[in-house]
């Protein structure tokens, strides 16, 4: 069938604009599919492999101190397989006259025999010797600080300096995504890294003789974490347990998992959205083509072409477009994984993440694209079967012409120009095509809305968090919970400080029936001005004198509402109250985008814990100029654990998030392109379908612009319906994203700001307008005399 | 001469909702190999319906139709397709050429499905369009386009050529060119030609003329001395 193939190619060539647009939409779908799928597969493979190789723990225990000699005995608890005790300490790097603070988290290890849980993988150099001052450092910290093997690092631990020789680089499964605190949102290897240090050296330095403060364990295959946790809580009660949490709550793992799950949901939805838009385009285009070539089809049938030959010919349009889009999109998607993987390598220190060419996803992507294309072509092509050759030779009976429902709105109808009336009628005359266009536009509109809402999300996670909620400038964390009065008094006399507030952060387990969640309760001053609890409108919510405020996501997880009572249990609760679990009433539910917390008045929280006046940090409002002096004066004070300047973190995070802005607008851009393709296709169809009608209008003396209005009024009407349908769709999409992407680290805001809706309306309208401009060019070039002279 | 086509009591009824329209009311006829038949009749007399049935485009409602003793009325869709493919060539009033294929390519399109096609160049030469082979339909006049359509119909080397008002859209001069091409096929290649028209002048070139009136074969007129197309006038 060489001639039919030639016919196919020439027809595609003469309408290349539409077909090209369609190929690009398919490509976008395929790029998202192959690149996300390959990245997911690579990450999962690397994760599984690394976790298995290093025996990554299933459970984590943080406590004040536990006898090292007793650790092995924990393995005898039912459900625990292997167990390992370590000392974990953050230490600051000592630098001569340097302002910035760099920290290393020291993990004690026994290097003579690899631990049974949470091993490390040696990347370069050699293992430290147990009795020497040698350490392993994570490779990202090394690279970010231009360190080399053999360098000496001086650390400040418990107020004392000690030097270590870097003998190797190593990676642990615990710190694939290494953040100092969960509030940081992203790792900064230039200021924070991990170091592995011989057990004996750290024991000597940390004065934790015979004690460990961190235990990790693996579970036996059938064991449930919750059961094991109950046993552990009982056995560890006297040792000041701060938290016992499963792998799922471990920061690095949780971030990696949340990235994977958001990638998965992207890989499942985005390709479908774009392929569906492409399918709509192909379907309407092919349907029109077949209607238009009805006589040709009759002719082919008269010659003796079989139905199969004719159907295959018309199916070859979508299959060719789907095939080209599929292969190009698949290849582009695979190519894209290489730069994307290097971005992932920036954030995740996961060995074995390399990308490679994937025949599997090229093939799967092609199959996906071809099935969508085939599906879009099948319905229209099968109509050919029903066409009797003798009937096909006659022009189709004209579509019924009656009043459209729109015309009943006489007030509105009479105000439309005649071109407008023609356009509206046309929209109602081919209802299936119109419905498809409306659905397509709704999807495109909601993609744009979500893209713009991302901007809001980024703002909520950064600027809003740092400028409206955490209004303090500096936070000084104490080594241990305790009275902060003396420190506050001392600080009050420091230059530049204008306001001070204590903050009490308490790990708690909140329970409502079988719903349970471990979080940090923040104890704040009643009239706190340095940490503001705000409602959705950004207005201050007063901290109640009793009871607790919960973040929205936490309230959902616990299934509680305002007025409900929840069980609260904390390791900081005094012993004599241990068996009597406390209850607190939920006084309010507030939005929280960064972190997952409960909030209480600091005095009420201390009372609840049966503790005196205690705090864990001091929040400070002060002159920015005086911060460096304050830092250098207090950072090595014995009571002080950490000094964090909000401004520094805010700057870093905002800078980092700014690069996300590009991604956001890129999404909007490709959605806009899909909108363009959809409308351009519809224009081309309208043009070819009604060229005689339009040519007659031109002959009557209408200008090209006026003729264009016949087509555009139809499109604006459909776009309007698309936007109306798109608004609830956007809310649904965002709610689904919020559900799947929110973690304990951050929650995705599910409200759509007005500016996002307006932006999406503007973006959608722009893509329609551009498509119409292309159409205008076609109308201007239309040779109307020739059209009217040719036979129908 | 052998009988090529034989129709017995051919009826065709169209059902439009509740209303039945009997378009052909029992036709009996025989057509010999190599004959040039013109079917004359006014609009609505059933000419095109008869041509479609004879061409295997739609089955009769009742009656029997034989092509070289093969019962066409018993064939299913597939059998009819094969019949059209191998035995019949169609020429329509509106040439129905594929607009984005050249003259030669339009002819090749038909040649590709034939069992024993004639050489494309030769057929184009026979209809006088050898020089126009690489032109697209839009670059050809109506008469030239119709001759491409004829070339396309005969390239499959069918025994039967069915022409539905082939000159209906043409002026007299180009019409005569087209008729000359048809006559040449009839005389040189012994193709059986059935041509329907409402133009009685054309009937003068036929061996026999079937007069169709209100769905019945009114009468058959035999021309002892068919006129060459050049002598026709309308």
Return the SS3 of B78: helix
Contact present, A27 and A369 (Cβ < 8 Å): no
Q: CB B94 to CB A295 under 8 A?
A: yes
CA of A21 vs chain B CAs: smallest distance (Å): 22
Nearest CA in chain A to B49: A390
- Which residue of A6, A298, A393 is in closest CB contact with B101? A6
B61 at the A interface (CB within 8 A)?
no
Name, in order, each residue with C-beta under 8 angstroms of B14's C-beta and a sequence gap of 6 or more. Answer: B20, B21, B23
Residue B56 region by backbone torsions, left for phi larger than 0, else alpha for psi between -120 and 50, else beta? left
With beta carbons under 8 A apart, name residues in chain B contacting A393. 57, 92, 96
What per-residue confidence (pLDDT) applies to A600? 93
| CA–CA separation, B184 and A647 (whole Å) | 96
Alpha helices in A690-783 (DSSP H): 691-700, 704-741, 754-781
| CA–CA separation, A197 and A203 (whole Å) | 10
Burial class (CB in 10 A: 0-12, 13-18, 19+), A630: buried
The gap between the terminal CA atoms of chain B, to the nearest Å, is 32
Quote the ipTM score.
0.84
What per-residue confidence (pLDDT) applies to A573? 75
Q: CB A299 to CB B86 under 8 A?
A: no
DSSP structure class, residue A128: P
With beta carbons under 8 A apart, name residues in chain A contacting B109. 3-4, 7, 303
Residue A490, both tokens: 């001392």
| CA–CA separation, A336 and A356 (whole Å) | 11
Partners of A250 in beta bridges: none
State the DSSP H helix or E strand holding residue B180, giving kind and residue range, or none if neither. Answer: helix B172-189
Contact present, A546 and A601 (Cβ < 8 Å): yes
What per-residue confidence (pLDDT) applies to B103? 93
- Which residue of A10, A305, A389 is in closest CB contact with B57? A389
Helix, strand, coil percentages, rounded to 5, for chain B = 35, 30, 35
Q: Pick from A299, A300, A306, A395 the residue to mutate for testing the B interface (most B CBs within 10 Å).
A: A299
Return the SS3 of B162: strand
Q: Which of A691, A309, A332, A637 is nearest to A476 (CA)?
A: A637
B81 at the A interface (CB within 8 A)?
yes
DSSP structure class, residue A469: I
State the DSSP H helix or E strand holding residue A684, giving kind and residue range, or none if neither. Answer: helix A646-689
Residue A621, both tokens: 């409002």
What per-residue confidence (pLDDT) applies to B53? 92
With beta carbons under 8 A apart, name residues in chain B contacting A14. 100
Among residues 156-185 of chain B, which lie with CB inside 8 Å of chain A?
A: 156, 169
Residue A701 region by backbone torsions, left for phi larger than 0, else alpha for psi between -120 and 50, else beta? left
Backbone angles phi, psi at A772, to 5 degrees: -70, -30
Question: What does pTM read for this prediction?
Answer: 0.81
B111 alpha-carbon distance from chain centroid: 18
| CA–CA separation, A609 and A575 (whole Å) | 10
Q: CB A2 to CB B83 under 8 A?
A: no
Q: Over its length of 234 residues, how does chain B's per-residue pLDDT go in tens digits? A: 789 999 999 999 988 778 889 999 999 999 999 999 999 998 889 998 999 999 998 889 999 999 998 999 999 888 988 899 999 999 888 888 888 889 999 999 999 888 889 899 988 988 888 999 999 988 888 889 988 998 999 898 899 999 998 888 788 888 888 898 889 889 988 899 999 998 899 999 999 999 999 999 999 999 999 999 888 877
Residue A324, both tokens: 């080209």
Residue A203, both tokens: 């024991």
CA of B76 vs chain A CAs: smallest distance (Å): 12
Q: CB B108 to CB A306 under 8 A?
A: no
DSSP structure class, residue A219: E
Q: CB A388 to CB B82 under 8 A?
A: no
Contact present, B201 and B147 (Cβ < 8 Å): no
With beta carbons under 8 A apart, name residues in chain B contacting A309. 113
What per-residue confidence (pLDDT) applies to A581? 64
Partners of A432 in beta bridges: none
B130 at the A interface (CB within 8 A)?
no
- Which residue of A295, A304, A309 is in closest CB contact with B82? A304
Burial class (CB in 10 A: 0-12, 13-18, 19+), A545: exposed
CA of B208 vs chain A CAs: smallest distance (Å): 25
| Average pLDDT of adjacent 10-residue blocks, chain A of 792 residues | 88 87 92 93 94 94 89 90 91 73 88 87 90 90 92 84 92 91 77 90 76 93 91 87 88 88 85 89 87 86 90 93 95 93 88 88 94 88 81 70 74 79 80 87 90 80 82 86 81 86 90 88 89 87 90 91 90 60 88 89 88 88 85 77 77 70 76 88 82 80 83 88 94 83 77 88 92 87 71 50
What per-residue confidence (pLDDT) applies to A660? 66
Q: CB A388 to CB B57 under 8 A?
A: yes
| CA–CA separation, A36 and A42 (whole Å) | 10
Each residue's pLDDT tens digit, A319-374: 999 999 999 999 999 999 999 898 888 888 899 888 888 999 999 999 999 999 99
| CA–CA separation, A251 and A182 (whole Å) | 7
What per-residue confidence (pLDDT) applies to A183? 64
């Amino acid at each position: 069938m060489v001639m039919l193939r030639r016919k196919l190619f020439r027809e595609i060539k003469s309408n290349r604009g539409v077909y090209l647009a369609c190929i690009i939409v398919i490509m976008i779908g395929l790029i998202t599919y192959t690149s996300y799928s390959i990245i997911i597969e690579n990450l999962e493979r690397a994760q599984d492999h690394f976790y298995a190789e290093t025996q990554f723990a299933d459970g984590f225990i943080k406590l004040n101190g536990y006898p090292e000699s007793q650790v092995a005995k924990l393995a005898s608890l039912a459900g625990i397989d292997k167990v390992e005790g370590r000392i974990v300490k953050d230490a600051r790097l000592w630098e001569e006259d340097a302002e910035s603070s760099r920290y290393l988290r020291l993990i004690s290890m026994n290097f003579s025999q690899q631990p049974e849980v949470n091993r490390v993988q040696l990347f370069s150099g050699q293992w430290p010797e147990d009795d020497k001052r040698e350490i392993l450092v994570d490779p990202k910290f090394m690279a970010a600080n231009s360190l080399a093997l053999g360098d000496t690092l001086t650390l400040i631990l418990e107020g004392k300096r000690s030097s270590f020789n870097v003998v190797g680089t190593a990676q642990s499964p615990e710190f694939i995504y290494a953040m100092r605190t969960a509030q940081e949102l992203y790792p900064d290897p230039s200021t924070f890294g991990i170091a592995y240090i011989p057990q004996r050296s750290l024991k000597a330095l940390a004065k934790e003789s015979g004690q460990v403060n961190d235990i990790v364990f693996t579970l036996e295959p059938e064991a449930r974490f919750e059961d094991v946790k109950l046993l552990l809580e009982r056995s560890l009660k006297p040792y000041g347990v701060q938290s016992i949490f499963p792998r799922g709550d471990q920061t690095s793992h949780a971030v990696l998992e949340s990235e994977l799950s958001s990638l998965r949901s992207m890989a499942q939805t985005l390709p479908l959205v774009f392929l569906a838009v492409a399918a709509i385009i192909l379907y309407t285009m092919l349907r029109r083509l077949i209607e238009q070539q009805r006589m040709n089809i009759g002719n082919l049938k008269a010659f003796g072409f079989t139905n199969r030959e004719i159907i295959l010919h018309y199916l070859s349009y979508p299959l060719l477009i789907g095939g080209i889009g599929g292969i190009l999109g698949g290849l582009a998607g695979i190519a894209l994984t290489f730069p994307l993987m290097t971005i992932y390598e920036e954030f995740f220190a996961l060995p074995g993440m390399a990308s490679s060419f994937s025949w599997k996803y090229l093939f799967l992507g092609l199959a996906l694209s071809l099935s969508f294309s085939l599906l879009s072509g099948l319905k229209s092509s099968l109509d050919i079967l029903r066409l009797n050759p003798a009937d096909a030779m006659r022009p189709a009976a004209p579509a019924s012409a009656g009043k459209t429902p729109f015309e009943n709105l006489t007030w509105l109808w009479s105000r439309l120009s005649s071109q407008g009336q023609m356009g509206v009628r046309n929209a109602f005359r081919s209802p299936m095509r119109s419905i498809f266009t409306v659905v397509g536009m709704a999807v495109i509109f909601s993609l744009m809305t979500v893209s713009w809402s991302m901007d809001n999300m980024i703002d909520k996670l950064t600027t809003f968090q740092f400028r409206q909620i955490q209004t303090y400038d500096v936070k000084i964390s104490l080594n241990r919970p305790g009275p902060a009065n003396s420190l506050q008094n001392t600080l009050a006399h420091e230059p530049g400080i204008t306001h001070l507030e204590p903050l009490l952060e308490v790990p708690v387990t909140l329970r409502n029936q079988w719903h349970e969640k471990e979080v940090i309760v923040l104890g704040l001053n009643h009239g706190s001005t340095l940490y503001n609890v705000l409602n959705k409108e950004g207005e201050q919510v007063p901290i109640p004198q009793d009871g607790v405020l919960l973040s929205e996501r936490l309230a959902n997880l616990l299934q509680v509402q305002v007025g409900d009572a929840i069980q609260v249990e904390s390791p900081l609760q005094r012993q004599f109250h241990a068996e009597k679990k406390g209850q607190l009433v939920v006084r309010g539910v507030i939005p929280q985008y960064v972190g997952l917390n409960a909030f209480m008045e600091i005095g009420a929280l201390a009372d609840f814990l049966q503790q005196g006046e205690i705090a864990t940090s001091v929040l400070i409002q002060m002159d920015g100029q005086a911060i460096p002096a304050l830092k250098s004066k207090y950072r090595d004070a014995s009571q002080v654990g950490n000094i964090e300047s909000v401004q520094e973190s805010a700057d870093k995070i905002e800078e980092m998030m700014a690069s996300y802005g590009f991604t956001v607008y890129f999404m909007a851009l490709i959605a806009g392109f899909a909108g363009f393709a959809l409308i351009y296709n519809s224009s081309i169809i309208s043009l070819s379908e009604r060229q005689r009608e339009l040519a007659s209008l031109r002959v009557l003396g209408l200008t090209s612009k006026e003729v264009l209005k016949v087509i555009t009024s139809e499109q604006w009407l459909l776009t309007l319906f698309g936007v109306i349908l798109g608004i609830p769709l956007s809310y649904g999409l965002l709610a689904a994203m919020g559900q799947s992407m929110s973690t304990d680290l951050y929650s995705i805001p599910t409200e759509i700001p007005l500016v996002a809706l307006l932006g999406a309306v503007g973006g959608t309208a722009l893509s329609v307008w551009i498509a119409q401009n292309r159409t205008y060019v076609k109308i201007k070039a239309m040779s109307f005399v020739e059209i009217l002279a040719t036979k129908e | 001469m052998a009988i090529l086509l034989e129709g017995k009591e051919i009826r065709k009824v169209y059902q439009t909702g509740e209303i039945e329209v009997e378009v052909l009311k029992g036709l009996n006829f025989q057509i010999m190999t190599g004959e040039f038949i013109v079917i004359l009749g006014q609009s609505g007399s059933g000419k095109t319906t008869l041509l479609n049935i004879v061409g295997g485009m739609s089955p009769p409602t009742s009656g029997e139709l034989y092509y070289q003793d093969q019962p066409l009325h018993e064939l299913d869709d597939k059998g009819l397709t094969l019949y059209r493919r191998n035995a019949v060539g169609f020429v329509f009033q509106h040439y129905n050429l594929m607009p984005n294929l050249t003259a030669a390519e339009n002819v090749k399109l038909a040649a590709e499905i034939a069992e024993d096609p004639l050489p494309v160049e030769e057929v184009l030469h026979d209809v006088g369009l050898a020089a126009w082979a690489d032109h697209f339909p839009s670059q050809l006049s109506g008469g030239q386009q119709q001759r491409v359509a004829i070339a396309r119909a005969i390239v499959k080397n069918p025994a039967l050529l069915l022409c539905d008002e082939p000159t209906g859209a043409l002026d007299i001069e180009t019409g005569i060119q087209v008729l000359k091409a048809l006559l040449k096929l009839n005389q040189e290649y012994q193709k059986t030609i059935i041509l329907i028209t409402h133009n009685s002048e054309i009937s003068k070139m036929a061996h026999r003329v079937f007069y169709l009136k209100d769905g019945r074969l009114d009468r058959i007129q035999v021309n002892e001395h068919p006129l060459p197309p050049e002598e026709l006038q309308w």
